[in-house]
Structure 1
Amino acid sequence: MRKLLPLFLLLTISLSITAQRPSPDQGQRPPIKITGTVLDQDNNLPLEYATLVLQSVQNPNIVTGGITNEDGKFDVEAKPGRYNIRIEYISYKTYTLNDQLLSSSTDLGTVKLALDVEQLEAVEVVGEKTTVEVRLDKKVYNVGKDLTTSGGTVNDALNNIPSVNVDIEGAISLRGNENVRILINGKPSALAGFGSTDVFKQLPADAIEKVEVITSPSARYDAEGTAGILNIVLKKEKTLGINGSINANIADPFRYQVSTNFNLRTDKFNLFNTLGYFHRESPGNAFFDNTYTSGDFDRIYEDRDISRNDTGFNVNLGLEYFLSEKSSLTGSVFARFSDEQDINENATQRFIGSTIDSRTFRSEDQNEDDSNYQFSMNYTNNFNDDGHKLTADVQYSFDDEDVLTEIIENNTFPNNELLASERIYEIETQNNYLAQADYVLPMGDSQFEAGYRGTFREELNDYQLDTLNQGSGQYITNTDLTNKFTYTQNVNAFYSQYGNKYGKFSFLLGLRLENTQLKGELESDVNAETLSEQLGIDVDVNFDKNYLGLFPTLNLIFEIQENENISLGYNRRINRPRGWFINPFPSRASRTNVFQGNPDLDPAYANAYDLGYLRRWKKLTLTSSIYYQKETNAFERVQEETGETTSDGIRIIRSLPINLSTNERVGAEAGILYNPVKWLRVNSSFNFFKFTTEGVFNNVDYGAENTSWFSRFSTKVSLPWKIDWQNNAFYMGPRENAQTKTKGMFSLNTAMSKDIFKDRATISFNISDVFNSRKRMSYTETEFFTSESEFQWRPREFRLSFIYRFNQPKERRRGGERNGGGDDDGEGFEG
């Protein structure tokens, strides 16, 4: 039951720091100190994290206070004056002293608190509701208690969130749909890579406070992302004083990571800082078994080994300054640097009939220097305690990626000879600007909101391919592929929404107006006619397109009873093409496989509907929903022949994104959270979906139907001696599109942790992918070739983690001796 203590403490302390300016009766006299000790009445043990609340009698809006340390002692500064004094501890009776004159430093002595039996039962029920909250337009998941992500990355944490899946290459999907919008603290951010999720493989999972899964976004959110929105909220400590933590882990295959967070909070400012450093040597592997209906070879078998040697550092520094009791100004700077070296070795066997004709060996050595910078400023004014609020944000981000890739391919049988040697130089820069203002006006049971958001992005991709001329021994620039492409995306949006509650019925109705400008500018020796001929469509490589759209949203909840409700959501969404989907020049994954963007791509639009049902019992919570989505102009990547061959007779295959006519998706999901006893927690979710795609491109019908599903099952057991044991199992069902079928995939993670040093530290041991089964196995079939493949991004990993906290409450508080060492650390839902 005491596991909810940090949650209530953070809420109490966040309220206690809202008003620190002196009242008229306090004047400008120097502060005094209030000291004392808080003990358990029955066993005289100190109560750590008990809360001292000092509320001004003259002005009740002025509240200050603090919390006790491990010895149950508090030492708090306050202005002289008259106060109502309260000492509170979850599940204990509150100690109260009203109208006390504190004119000099005062020692309140030893205060003994007694258990509140009536509150005790209520708290045990609430104790099952600390991990998930269900709100009108989203579900909020607190991931801080997941042992299997301790020492892991943001990707590891996201992969344990219901409805969310992160595949073996790091692609994030929501309900099986990869077109999901990723936000950090409610805004697009350099931490999320502005579309790329590679950074999530580097940032520690412990940096996350909660994840908001928004499948029916209200009008305050971007209309981008036809699947919905994932908002990752990072930690920012609210406790007064100095506090923080140090987290270190080491893993096999070799990887280590160290991260720290530091927080200094006073009644006038809050200084927060996080640092992180990692080094990773991560292997991977893949094979491709390709057969061809035409060309010089009937079959080509590729065996790939992948080696990654990556090092990175990130820092975030911010200061929140309290301008008044109700307003604050926050500035922050974020920087991330990484040096990555990936070596991909590909051994190939080429057959004519069943006889090996030749063998080749290809080495691709990629070195990437990546740096991100972000500067943010936020102004917040809480006009009153009822939610009347104005916020304004400005943000600038810069991303620079400098990549050199050296490719050498040799024939190793029947003779040794150099087939090709290439050097690829890529420089990609992004400039991103954001301006945002949001206004909230409560009106009794109703609430009105309005706001503006402008996002302005410019991407420059400078690509150069040099090929070795074996006759001269010199590298010659391939002018047919070398290019500079600038892609600009500007979005201006205005929104308004209104919510109200009538008895058991609540609604939130909103409308968002967005104007999108997409611009492309190409510098190349290749003209538009040649590119149009390659793509098979007429394209304008220097384009300037404008799209104006209205995006209505509606969210309804009917409360059948206190623990049961039905929800209904509707929203219209947009999917804008990314820069690399637009760039018309091919980039090489190999000599035989290229990806080519399509500048003729238009945004896709979707209408989404969601019907949900929630029911809570004493020890069990059920959430469920059925959903439907219809997307027009949906993106689809298709593979086709280019009509070209390599110098040694292999047909070159191109992957191309196109607008298909429609994509319909219907599905259902259910989740169960069950706490049969205090020492056991069970969490299970299941998602089933079917999608239908229709569309024709270059006289080929790419229509397809597919039914798939994925499921999670998690158990957490609290053992004696403060040891926790958790298992997370995941299964992704088989799926397919017009050309590719992918087999089902199962993985299991397990972890054990123990609190040490009087709960100031935790040590944990994790095994990720226990059976080494997290592999993608696919079969692709077209009219000109078939391919059977297997890909493993990362093999089974063993990880040892250690976290030490100073002056910082744990994510949870144990039941202690009174409950026999049991852990009432249950999960549940809050509406």
Structure 2
Amino acid sequence: MRRLLLLIPLLLAGFIATSAQELRGIVHDEAGLPLPYATIKVKSIDGGNVITGGVTREDGSFSLQIANQKLPLLLEASLIGFAPKEIKCESFTSYKIALKESALQLEEVSVTANRIVHRMVAGGISTSIEASPLANLSDVYSVLRGVPLVEIEGTEVRVAGKGTPIIYINDRLMTDPNQLRNLKPYLIRDIEVLTNPGARYSSSTESVIKIYTKREQGSGLSSEAKVGLFNQLGSPIGYQPYLHFNYRLDNWDFFLSAMYQDNQTNHSFPSLRTHGKTDKSEWINQSTTKHIEGEQTQEYTIGINYEDELQSMGFRYRIAGTREDSWMYSDLTSHHIVPLPEAEERFRTKSQTFKPWNLSHRPNLYYLRKLGEWKAQIDVDYYQTSMSHSTETIHEGEGAGNEYNLPIKINEHGAKYQSAGARLDFSGPLWGGRLEIGGEYTRVHNKFYNHLEKSLNLTNLDTEQREQLLALYLEYQREIASEWSLTAGLRMEHLQNKYIDKGIVDPNKSHTTTNLFPTLALTGRLLGVRTELSFRSRIHRPSYIQLQPQYLVVSRYEYKVGDPNLKDAIDYSTSLTLNKSWFTTILSHTYSRDCLTPETGLFIDPNTGEASPYITLFKTVNAPPHHGLTAAMVASPTIKWWKPTFTLRLSKMIGYDLWHFEERITKRRATLALSVANQFTLPKEISLVFNIGYTPFGNEDNMEFTAPILTSYAEISKQWLKEKNLLTTLSVSNLFNTTHSVRTATRHSVMESTEYVPPRIAFTISYRFNSSKDKYRGTGALESVIDRM
């Protein structure tokens, strides 16, 4: 490792030296602020012929190879809203080009203000916000709803077919949802949606959203105060106050924030039917279940940051606490078919799980340094929770009476998470392209315990989990022809996992793996259509609790358990993306190996090793290898003050066969998903959102949708005061009392369930004072670890 660190400066020196035969520099405005995406052209002195060209990067810098051309040459920079400028280049030095605002060019902006410009980027698509109607919306979630492939449910962000993304704001990893909520739409410049992220991202990352904003000037004190009220039908009103302060003094930022949330939700399963069989028995369990979950959360952050032209550094410390109190009510009827004679039992269960306040600590520091046109950054991260203690008290009643007349059962379980990590990244120009190289290292030490009532006759749990991960990555991007670019990357991850049972390492439940994850993206314009062909491999590791063989009691005849021998799931995905104006088509193929899938099965008694009748076991398994085909079409036109986004997605699994008892199911239906997202920009700073989604049929892994699924979301918001500092928002989700009905089949059991999701109403009011925000640029090094907790 020491040799590697000593080689890095030598490699950087070699890289920079090889980049000497090129024209490079930076484009900025009259105030000295960098201008990204400005057009750069290199022209001959005599006839003014264009030799080569490109655009500036996010920091306003550019570098253009000129092959065997001789100096002097002309360098021209232009950008909408600014007058173009031309300078004469007589040496290979770094040039600074200052552009002046142009009234004529600004008039052109107003003429094209109704256009939403998309362009292909490596791994995805970029949407220009600042010159589109989206910049006039009230909040960032309304803006994201207008971006192709992005799905918003309340404040939850998803990418169609790619799950929950990691989000970067100005190349800083978002670690606090409030960072997203605080963004002002009129300051957002571009939003990139990466459905095939490159090698620099964790191999478990399915999608990335990168948001770039214009810089807000300001100094002194700035703050934001926000209060949210929300209510799910049948639950008490929840609330969430939030305060953020930032004080800027020259190059320094001092910031702190505080958040508290008290929330209660409920969801129910009006029908849960399980049909099970063993060699000696057969039964049908029918139940209704209702869950009520109450959670209180508080979070406090304090930090300091310094930034100048060459470097940036900062330290941030966050402490958070969570308290939970949940109830579950179940009415279960078990019909015993075999052995004869047939019999029937009925059990009513009331259980309460209480988890007192549990604290987590997360200090983070970073250092970023510019090395000429190169940039280096190091992040150091630490995360630790106290040992949580959850007490589950179960009351049961037998028969049709209302009394709970069976002995009370008390179960206890808890977990402690601890991890540390470091990340090192380098990026800069190389051979006419751009190179990113780096690595990360994390260590994990988690502890778990599970003590069950003796009458259940189940094994207690007292385990530890130690994990080390070393990851190295390399990614290179370069233009290979006019309007075409190639991005290629490779990521290596070496994972060592030790399972420790009562202080002794269990080699049968420990494992060491090394995986390589290549990425490739070819992006350009074909017959006037923006085109990208990409390939990416991805890993999805089980959560830490899924790797623990601890039994959780759901009801008298329903248990849940983890498995330390679960394998990591790996996908290999190839995608073709075509974009023309406001219409986008995506075609993809995915090969999945060891996909993590929830499943029902027989309960094997750990004491006898035999299948127990009448009991359903909920667990996660590794699915057999299979293929997936997906076609998605997205249309996002702008019609005056209305901006709709229509999405149609059709997906089909191939080779994912199921067993319905003795019958093998090989022909499974495709999944069809339709959605319409509507944005309305109304007078008096009012915006309206109405989204609706419909899935009439389909299969997802081992689940079959047995009834159509309808989702909905509506929102109205208004900006107040002269500077639009005050914002009010009212939203309603699940307007139509959503129900989800699915069937899961295996060789030994078939489960059919219907879940009811009640409507949820939320009202938020926020006020911002001043405009300066902290410039903390730490990305952290533990996100992939914390996501598994």
TM-score w.r.t. the length of structure 1 is: 0.70
- What secondary structure does 1:674 align onto? coil
User: Whole-Å Cα distance in 2 between the matches of residues 631 and 720 of structure 1?
Assistant: 49
State the Cα distance separating 1:683 from its structure 2 match. 2.1
Q: Equivalences for 1:349-360 in 2 at 5 Å?
A: 349-350=333-334, 359-360=346-347
Deviations 1:312-340 (A, max 9, x none): 11222222112x42101121112221212
Change beyond 3 A, Cα 1:655–1:262? same
Flag the 1:207–1:397 CA change in 2: closer, same or farther, 3 A.
farther
CA contact (8 A) 1:693 1:702 kept: no
Contact kept? 1:402, 1:427, Cα under 8 Å: yes
User: Which residue identity is paired with 1:790?
Assistant: T
SS at match of 1:239: coil
Q: 2:491 aligns with which of 487, 512, 515?
A: 512
Identify the residue that residue 778 of structure 1 maps to in structure 2.
Answer: 742
Match of 1:587 among 552, 558, 564: 552
For 2:436 and 2:666, locate their aligned partners in 1 and report how far apart those are by CA, in whole Å.
42
Q: How many residues align?
A: 663
1:624 equivalent to 2:585? Answer yes
SS at match of 1:240: coil
* More displaced stretch, 203-212 vs 628-637: 203-212
In structure 2, how many angstroms separate the alpha carbons of the residues matched to 1:158 and 1:399?
33
2:688 maps to 1:716: no
- In structure 2, what is the Cα distance between the partners aligned to 1:409 and 1:171? 37
The alpha-carbon distance between structure 1 residues 393 and 13, as it changes in their structure 2 partners (threshold 3 A), is: farther
1:374 corresponds to 2:362:
yes
2:109 aligned counterpart, secondary structure: helix
CA spacing shift, 1:344–1:629, aligned 2, 3 Å: same
The corresponding residue for 1:340 is 324
Partner of 2:261: 278
The answer (yes or no) to whether the contact 2:658–2:745 under 8 Å persists in 1 is no
Q: By how many angstroms is 1:613 displaced?
A: 1.0
2:258 alignment partner AA: L
The CA deviation string for residues 473-531 of structure 1, in whole angstroms up to 9 with x for no partner, is xxxxx67321112223322111222211132210111122221112211229xx99xxx
Aligned to 1:494: 472
Is the contact made by 2:317 and 2:361 (CA closer than 8 Å) also made in structure 1?
yes
Q: After the TM superposition, which residues 290-309 of structure 1 pair with which residues of structure 2 at under 5 Å, given as runs?
A: 290=273, 292=275, 299-309=284-294
Instruction: State yes or no: 1:263 paired with 2:226.
Output: no
Q: Does 1:768 align with 2:732?
A: yes
Within the candidate set 511, 518, 524, 1:552 is matched to 518
Residue of structure 2 equivalent to 1:109: none
Offset at residue 549 of structure 1 (A): 2.2
Deviation string, structure 1 residues 647-669 (Cα, Å, up to 9, x no partner)? xx971112333333302111012
Within 5 A, what are the aligned runs for 1:516-595?
Answer: 516-523=495-502, 543-560=509-526, 564-595=529-560
1:242-274: CA deviations, max 9, x gaps?
323222122334121122332223332123333
Return closer, same or farther for 1:459/1:507 CA change in 2, 3 Å cut-off: same
Residues 605 and 114 of structure 1, relative CA distance in 2, 3 Å threshold? closer
Q: Give percent identity, aligned residues only.
A: 15
The one-letter code of the counterpart of 1:397 is Y
Deviations 1:359-406 (A, max 9, x none): 43211212223432211111111234xx52111111111134432222
Q: What amino acid does structure 2 have at the position aligned with 1:673?
A: S
Residues 704/488 of structure 1: CA separation in 2 closer, same or farther (3 Å cut): farther
Query: What is residue 675 of structure 1 aligned with on the other side?
Result: 638
Q: CA deviation at 1:126?
A: 5.3
2:411 counterpart residue number:
424
Q: Which amino acid aligns with 1:257?
A: Q
Say if 1:418 and 1:159 are closer, same or farther in 2 by CA, change over 3 A: farther
Matches within 5 A, 1:466-477: 466-467=453-454
**In the alignment, what sits opposite 2:646?**
684
Aligned pairs (5 A) from 1:117-132: 117-125=104-112, 128-129=115-116
Contact map agreement 1:151 1:248 (CA 8 A) in 2:
no
Q: Which letter does structure 1 place at the counterpart of 2:674?
A: S
Work out whether residues 692 and 706 of structure 1, in 8 Å CA contact, stay in contact via their aligned partners in 2: no
1:229 maps to which residue? Answer: 207
How is 1:160-179 mapped onto 2 (pairs within 5 angstroms)?
163=149, 175-176=160-161
AA matched with 2:381: Q
Range with bigger deviation, 208-217 or 692-701? 692-701
Could you tell me how far 1:451 is from its partner in structure 2?
Answer: 0.7
CA deviation map 1:99-144 (0-9, x unaligned): xxxxxxxxxxxxxx999354223344356448x7752124467999
- 1:647-658 counterparts in 2 under 5 A? 651-658=614-621
> Contact 2:120/2:532 (CA < 8 Å) preserved in 1?
no
Closer, same or farther: CA 140–246 of 1 in aligned 2, 3 Å: farther
- Provide the residue aligned with 2:87 in structure 1: none
Deviations 1:580-622 (A, max 9, x none): 2322333223332222222222323322111111112xxxx12
* Aligned-partner SS, 1:554: strand
Secondary structure, counterpart of 1:222 in structure 2: coil
- Quick one: distance in 1 between partners of 2:173 and 2:684? 42
Tell me what 1:135 maps to.
121
- Distance in 1 (CA, whole Å) between partners of 2:34 and 2:105 is 30
Q: Aligned equivalents of 2:482 and 2:761: distance in 1?
A: 53
- Amino acid in the other structure paired with 2:573: A
Alignment check: 8 A CA contact 2:517 2:538 kept: yes
Structure 1 residues 151 and 274: alpha-carbon distance in aligned structure 2, compared to 1, 3 A threshold: farther
SS of match in other structure, 1:419: coil
Corresponding residue for residue 389 of structure 1 = 375
Using the alignment, how far apart are the partners of 1:511 and 1:93 within structure 2?
42
Distance of aligned partners of 1:576 and 1:447 in 2 relative to their CA distance in 1, 3 Å threshold:
same
CA apart distance, 1:167: 9.2
Residue 732 of structure 1, aligned match among 695, 709, 724: 695
The one-letter code matched in structure 2 to 1:459 is N
Structure 2 residue aligned with 1:25: none
The 1:716–1:652 alpha-carbon spacing in structure 2 relative to 1, beyond 3 Å, is same
SS of match in other structure, 2:545: helix
Structure 1 Cα separation of the partners of residues 452 and 170 of structure 2: 39
Q: Which residue of 2 aligns with 1:817?
A: none
In 1, Cα distance between equivalents of 2:560 and 2:288? 21
Amino acid at match of 1:125: T
Secondary structure class of the residue paired with 1:589: strand
Provide the residue aligned with 1:107 in structure 2.
Answer: none
Whole-Å Cα distance in 2 between the matches of residues 732 and 489 of structure 1? Answer: 40
Task: Look up the match of 2:9.
Answer: none
Query: Can you give the 5+ residue segments of structure 1 that lack an aligned partner in the other structure?
Result: 1-10, 19-59, 62-88, 95-112, 193-199, 470-477, 529-539, 811-831
In structure 2, the partner of 1:603 is 568
Contact 1:565–1:615 (CA<8 Å) still a contact in 2? yes
Aligned letter for 2:197? P
Over 3 Å counting, the alpha-carbon distance change for 1:14 and 1:447 in structure 2 is: farther
Q: Secondary structure at the match of 2:196?
A: coil
Q: d(CA) in 1 for partners of 2:367 and 2:211?
A: 18
The offset of 1:631, in angstroms, is: 1.7
- Distance change >3 Å, CA 263–CA 283, structure 1 → 2: same
- Maintained 8 Å contact 2:138/2:685: no
Distance 1:363 1:702, change over 3 A: farther
What code does the residue aligned with 2:634 have?
A: G
1:406 and 2:390 equivalent? no
1:190-222 Cα deviation digits (max 9, x unpaired): 959xxxxxxx7xx69615789864321211111
Distance (whole Å) between structure 2 residues aligned to residue 15 and residue 747 of structure 1 = 48
Alignment of 1:23-62 (within 5 A): none
Which letter maps to 1:264?
Y
C-alpha distance in structure 1 between counterparts of 2:624 and 2:443, whole Å: 29
* Corresponding residue for residue 310 of structure 1: 295
The alpha-carbon deviation at position 160 of structure 1 amounts to 8.4
- Superposition deviation, residue 560 in structure 1: 3.8
SS of 2:738's equivalent?
coil
Match of 2:423 in 1: 436
Structure 1 partner of 2:446? 459
Q: CA–CA distance in 1 between the matches of 2:156 and 2:458?
A: 31
Pair 1:288–1:548, CA change in 2 (3 A)? same
CA distance in 1 between partners of 2:595 and 2:682 (Å): 50
Aligned residues: CA RMSD: 4.5
